[in-house]
């Protein structure tokens, strides 16, 4: 089957000449329009979308409520800057997030534009509150491409190689046992290993009294869709409390209903100190947030955090509509149903094909891992073939960490489109035997 036609070919040439290769493209596709869980390219091809703008449209492409909120706001004003003239949409969205986060006591929220900025500002807020400098991330973690974001990110290629020097006072915990402790690991074993890893960090790298913040993704996103082990998250919560360290949940990819609850940490019953949101919060507009206890959030001085576009009126109007849709259409609950259907198909593939080395997930954040049948070593080449075959069949689906196929479909996807997408994907996985 021909995979690209005239309009796409021309645009691909212009893209190659005009835009550097750095901002990667997963598919040789130029979008013309998108609605719900479908996307049409400039050559008129229809795709079922399991990528969802990398987890940015949990409420679906162009949800009418979101589009209407943006339209209504655009007729009043596009941008006045929060620092110049305030507007209710910002306050209302902050109030709603403060209510929704799984934390007790009075909360406050501040808005930015991207996930990376949310991470940067969480670090600033934590340092201002604790008076400490050190910050701890995880191997395989991903927190964006800014200086602090990439320094916190636990993967060298392509995120940090050649981009040093990096921000100081950043430390890292190993991804095992916190993530992927092994199928047979007992609660007690994970707990003991997590405590030992933290002991090593405190003993050999940085004393706990110097640490402002530990930043954890409840489900590693770019790192391969590994949900944090519940026992390991509990250890993190206990140890951070014991030492006065703030615990931040980076919910940029796992949040806003994706994992089967508004915030993925709710699935664990563990309350963090700071919650970072972005991606699907804006329903397609650039919007991110940091939410935390009032006394923590008020630690930076007036003018110490903020920015020209943070909490832009259009983005906040979209964000309020997104929360309406997530709640009224019960999309976190729908994520659980989607996740069950995806996992049934993924488990079947795992049981049948030796190069499918794992199937895992939380809610609708599901992963199919492709590896060498004998050694289990990652097989990114075979994974890339699967993704391309799926695209040829009319499905956009992405990888994480090279050899993991991940699902980020809009949660409004119809049963019919979900089943069709899963069949295309299963066919592509079987075809590369």
| Residues forming the site for ligand PLP (CB under 6 A) | 54, 114-116, 119, 142-144, 217, 221-222, 250, 252-253, 278
Nearer to ligand PLP, 211 or 287 (CB): 287
CA distances in angstroms from 120 to 117, 146, 228, 275, 289, listed in the order given: 5, 8, 22, 13, 11
CA distances in angstroms from 185 to 3, 192, 216, 231, 367, listed in the order given: 44, 11, 21, 11, 20
Tell me how far, at minimum, the Cβ of 117 lies from ligand PLP, in Å. 7
Question: Residues 6 or more apart from 397 whose CB is under 8 A from it?
Answer: 50, 51, 387, 390, 391, 405, 406, 407, 421, 425
Residue 106: count other Cβ atoms within 10 Å of its Cβ.
10
DSSP secondary structure of 175-212: STTTB---TT--HHHHHHHHHHHHHHIIIII--GGGEE
Q: What is the largest CA-CA distance in the chain?
A: 62
Tell me how far, at minimum, the Cβ of 328 lies from ligand PLP, in Å. 26
Tell me how far, at minimum, the Cβ of 426 lies from ligand PLP, in Å. 26
Nearer to ligand PLP, 276 or 428 (CB): 276
Nearer to ligand PLP, 249 or 321 (CB): 249
244: left (phi over 0), alpha (psi -120 to 50) or beta: left
Nearer to ligand PLP, 249 or 429 (CB): 249
Q: Chain-centre distance of CA 341, in angstroms?
A: 21
Nearer to ligand PLP, 89 or 222 (CB): 222
Contact 101, 275 (CB under 8 A): yes
**Distant-in-sequence contacts of 51-54, Cβ < 8 A, 24+ apart:** 51/26, 51/396, 51/397, 51/398, 51/408, 51/409, 52/408, 52/409, 52/410, 53/279, 53/284, 54/253, 54/279, 54/398, 54/408
Tell me how far, at minimum, the Cβ of 2 lies from ligand PLP, in Å. 32
Tell me how far, at minimum, the Cβ of 42 lies from ligand PLP, in Å. 25
Nearer to ligand PLP, 206 or 278 (CB): 278
Number of residue whose CB is nearest ligand PLP: 115
Tell me how far, at minimum, the Cβ of 161 lies from ligand PLP, in Å. 18
Tell me how far, at minimum, the Cβ of 142 lies from ligand PLP, in Å. 5
Residue 85: exposed, middle, or buried by beta-carbon count in 10 A (0-12, 13-18, 19+)? exposed
Nearer to ligand PLP, 11 or 398 (CB): 398
Nearer to ligand PLP, 219 or 418 (CB): 219
Tell me how far, at minimum, the Cβ of 433 lies from ligand PLP, in Å. 31
Tell me how far, at minimum, the Cβ of 135 lies from ligand PLP, in Å. 14
**Beta-bridge partner residues of 396:** 49
Separation CA 284–CA 59 (nearest Å): 9
Question: Residues 6 or more apart from 217 whose CB is under 8 A from it?
Answer: 138, 141, 142, 223, 228, 249, 250, 251, 252, 253, 254
Nearer to ligand PLP, 262 or 429 (CB): 262
Nearer to ligand PLP, 89 or 217 (CB): 217
Tell me how far, at minimum, the Cβ of 355 lies from ligand PLP, in Å. 26
């Amino acid at each position: 089957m021909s995979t690209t036609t005239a309009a796409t070919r021309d645009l691909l040439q212009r893209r190659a000449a005009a835009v550097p290769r750095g901002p990667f493209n997963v598919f040789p596709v130029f979008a013309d329009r998108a609605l719900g869980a479908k996307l049409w390219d400039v050559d008129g091809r229809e795709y079922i979308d399991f990528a969802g703008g990398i987890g940015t449209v949990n409420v679906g492409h162009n949800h009418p409520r979101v589009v209407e909120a943006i339209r209504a706001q655009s007729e009043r004003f596009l941008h006045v800057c929060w620092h110049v003239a305030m507007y209710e949409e910002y306050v209302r969205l902050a109030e709603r997030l403060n209510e929704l986060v799984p934390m007790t006591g009075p909360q406050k929220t501040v808005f930015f534009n991207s996930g990376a900025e949310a991470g940067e500002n969480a670090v600033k807020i934590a340092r201002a509150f604790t008076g400490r400098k050190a910050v701890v991330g995880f191997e395989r973690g991903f927190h964006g491409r800014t200086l602090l974001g990439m320094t916190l990110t636990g993967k060298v290629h392509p995120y940090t190689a050649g981009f040093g020097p990096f921000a100081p006072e950043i430390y890292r915990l190993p991804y095992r046992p916190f993530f992927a402790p092994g199928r047979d690991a007992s609660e007690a074993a994970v707990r003991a290993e997590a405590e030992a890893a933290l002991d090593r960090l405190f003993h050999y790298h940085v004393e706990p009294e110097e640490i402002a913040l530990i930043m954890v993704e409840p489900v590693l996103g770019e790192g391969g869709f590994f949900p944090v082990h519940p026992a390991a998250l509990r250890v993190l919560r206990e140890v951070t409390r014991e030492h006065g360290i703030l615990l931040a949940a980076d919910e940029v990819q796992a949040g806003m209903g994706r994992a089967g609850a508004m915030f993925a940490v709710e699935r664990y019953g563990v309350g963090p100190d700071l919650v970072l949101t972005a991606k699907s919060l804006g329903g397609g507009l650039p919007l991110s947030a940091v939410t935390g206890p009032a006394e923590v959030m008020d630690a930076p001085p007036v003018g110490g955090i903020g920015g020209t576009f943070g909490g832009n009126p259009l983005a906040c109007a979209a964000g309020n509509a997104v929360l309406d849709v997530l709640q009224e259409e019960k999309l976190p609950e729908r994520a659980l149903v989607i996740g069950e259907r995806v996992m049934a198909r993924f488990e079947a593939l795992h049981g049948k094909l030796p190069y499918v080395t794992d199937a895992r997930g939380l809610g609708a954040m599901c992963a199919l891992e492709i590896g060498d049948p004998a050694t289990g070593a990652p097989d990114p080449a075979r994974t890339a073939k699967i993704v391309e075959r799926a695209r040829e069949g009319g499905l956009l689906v992405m990888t994480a960490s090279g050899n993991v196929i991940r699902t980020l479909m809009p949660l409004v996807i119809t049963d019919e489109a979900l089943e069709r997408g899963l069949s295309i994907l299963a066919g592509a996985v079987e075809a590369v035997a």
